[in-house]
Amino acid sequence: QVQLVESGGGSVQAGGSLRLSCAASGYTIAHNCMGWFRQAPGRQREGLVSVDANGETNYAAGSVKGRFTVSRDNAENTLYLQMNNLKPEDSAVYFCAGSGRPHCFLGLKSADFGYWGQGTQVTVSS
């Protein structure tokens, strides 16, 4: 049974940092395309960044490029999202997702990912 469990969300002031974690069980993140998404109230789920089995990353959301960094610890089977210089518009529920295949499709679409965590809330105050 595949489980993805996010943690690390919380409330922070603008300019602050958070590191989100996504611990996987029943699923090897190093062998699969993984993605981070977020969804704010009343908005569609937005793909932020993906990393494939070769470690190649794709930052799909220009708004987070240079501020957010994806990484993974293969030994811990955990995916991370380091978020720096947070802004109020970054407030959302953040999800990690697994595609079940080693390579990522272009465009970082939710429909390309079959495994999802429950999400973790990030709130950034001004």
Q: Where are the beta strands (DSSP E) in 1-126?
A: 3-7, 10-13, 18-25, 34-39, 46-51, 57-59, 68-73, 78-83, 92-98, 115-116, 120-125
The letter for the amino acid at 30 is A
Query: What pLDDT does residue 49 have?
Result: 96
Query: What pLDDT does residue 60 have?
Result: 85
pLDDT band at 15 (very low <50, low <70, confident <90, very high): very high
* CA nearest to 35, candidates 6, 75, 12, 13: 6
Q: Which residue has the higher pLDDT, 59 or 38?
A: 38
Cβ count within 10 A of residue 110: 15
Q: DSSP code of 3? A: E
